[in-house]
Amino acid sequence: MVITSPVVREKPQPSLYDVAVEQFNIAADVIGLDDDLRRILSTCKRELIVHFPVEMDDGSVQVFTGFRVQHNLAAGPSKGGIRYHPDVTLDEVKALAMWMTWKCAVMGLPYGGAKGGVQVDPKQLSQNELQNLTRRYATEISLVIGPHTDIPAPDVNTNPQVMAWILDTYSMHRGGVAIPGVVTGKPLLLGGSAGRLEATGRGCVFAVEEAARAYGIELAGARVVVQGFGNAGSVAARLLHELGCLVIGVSDSQGGIWNPRGLDIPAVIQHKRQTGTVINFPNAENVSNAELLELDCDILIPAALEGQITRENAPRIKARLIAEAANGPTTPEADRILFDRGIIVLPDIYANAGGVTVSYFEWVQSLQHFYWTEREINSRLKEIMARSFHAIREVAERYRVHMRTAALALAIQRVAEITRLRGIYP
């Protein structure tokens, strides 16, 4: 008789959309949201999948897959970035679209949430191929985007030039006259907003400043770690360095660097420009991204990709304050662990909402063809970040929940009330 061992099947990891829905349900439980509104708000309104050919420089044709998801349109047109990444999935885009709804609502913006993406590694494309891909993708999703329906913006591996191509493609389909309100994050010459490139990182720093005042953290000399040294992370690191913080560790996709006495951030930025990475920076020790998250610090800013702080490493996080400049860097299980340990988490739908807030400013300017100074932009952004922080903190204290659940509860309440007021169209 042969005795075989039972097959042990690992529990599948939840998708990013599962995480988003779990977070929604936690907050919905807190505010006692009724079942009808749960069904409406936990479902994406529109999901577009496109498969489109692109002619490459060598004359061959490749077929790419792209997505555009609109989660909710109750408060106004949907808003959300477009990312180019080989691992983009529909579930990921749905989750990010849902988070955009809550992000806009928690900041009091008249938007719903959307997100888009193409399964591609843009680093493998020439500039001409990237333009061909962008214009064809823009044509495919032009069915659903528009200045009063759905407004794209830059995200992972996209930039103002990509937005310019989308603007031009959309405009050419409508007679050729520029329609600047169809995208945000575009070049200044095409109606972009002053301060937009730094908005996500700057907004995160405004959030950190508010939280530091509220929780008694002295920023001068505070030790800061930033995971991810792209646009948001490098700007946040530079601004905190200018405020007198000791930025002791930063990283990018290739790895990280650490110096407990503090890094010269302008020099690190220059080093990355010259070498393409922060690693091997003089007077610093190379560390992995995993090690970087667990460094002894006061403030941790995850500014890379989602799912970085999990139930495995959350018990080893040493920061007093976490400000999420990335989307979805902390899992729900990690949230509970961090909350029980007394670590304050400024959630992504608040901490990285500077980008969408200044995108809103840009959209308003584009529609009016009347533009503001960068000083006005930053002043308005700081005011909104401060107001939103205190609204979230008040909900957190009222319900005795962590800041993510409080931010979600505040956002869901707002969208639910808008939905109730509008009613259900027959």
User: The CATH number of the domain where 109 resides is what?
Assistant: 3.40.50.10860
Do 120 and 134 contact (CB within 8 A), yes or no?
no
Q: Which amino acid is at 154?
A: P
Q: Choosing from 79, 115, 186, 272, which is the catalytic residue?
A: 115
Residues 276 and 338 in one domain: yes
Residue 203 and residue 347 share a domain: yes
Looking at 177, 211, 237, the residue that finishes a domain is 177
Domain boundary among 319, 351, 383: 351
| Contact status, residue 350 vs residue 403, Cβ threshold 8 Å | yes
Classify residue 412: in a domain, yes or no. Answer: no
The answer to whether residues 212 and 88 belong to one domain is no
Is position 390 within any domain?
no
Question: What token pair was written down for 387?
Answer: 């107001």
> Is residue 85 domain-shared with residue 140, that is, in the same domain?
yes
Half-sphere exposure of 34 (CA within 13 A, CB side): 6
Residue 233, domain extent:
199-351
CATH number at residue 236: 3.40.50.720
Q: 3-class DSSP state for residue 117? A: strand
Q: Are residues 336 and 211 in the same domain?
A: yes
Is 65 in the same domain as 137?
A: yes
Residue 31: count of CB within 10 angstroms of its CB: 15
Per-residue pLDDT of the chain (426 residues; tens, 9 = 90+): 555 555 545 556 778 899 889 889 989 999 999 999 999 999 999 999 999 999 999 999 999 999 999 999 999 999 999 999 999 999 999 999 999 999 999 999 999 999 999 999 999 999 999 999 999 999 999 999 999 999 999 988 999 999 999 999 999 999 999 999 999 999 999 999 999 889 999 999 999 999 999 999 999 999 999 999 988 999 999 999 999 999 999 999 999 999 999 999 999 999 999 999 999 999 899 999 999 999 999 999 999 988 899 999 999 999 999 999 998 899 889 999 999 999 999 999 999 999 999 999 999 999 999 999 999 999 999 999 999 999 999 999 999 998 999 999 999 999 999 999 999 998
Number of domains comprising the chain: 2
Q: What is the pLDDT of residues 22-72, one digit of tens each?
A: 889 989 999 999 999 999 999 999 999 999 999 999 999 999 999 999 999
Sign of CA dihedral 160, 153, 392, 227: negative
Query: Which among 95, 133, 117 has a CA at the least distance from the CA of 348?
Result: 95
In a domain, 5, yes or no: no
My answer on whether 124 and 211 are in the same domain is no
Q: Is 115 a catalytic residue?
A: yes
Whether 61 and 173 share a structural domain: yes
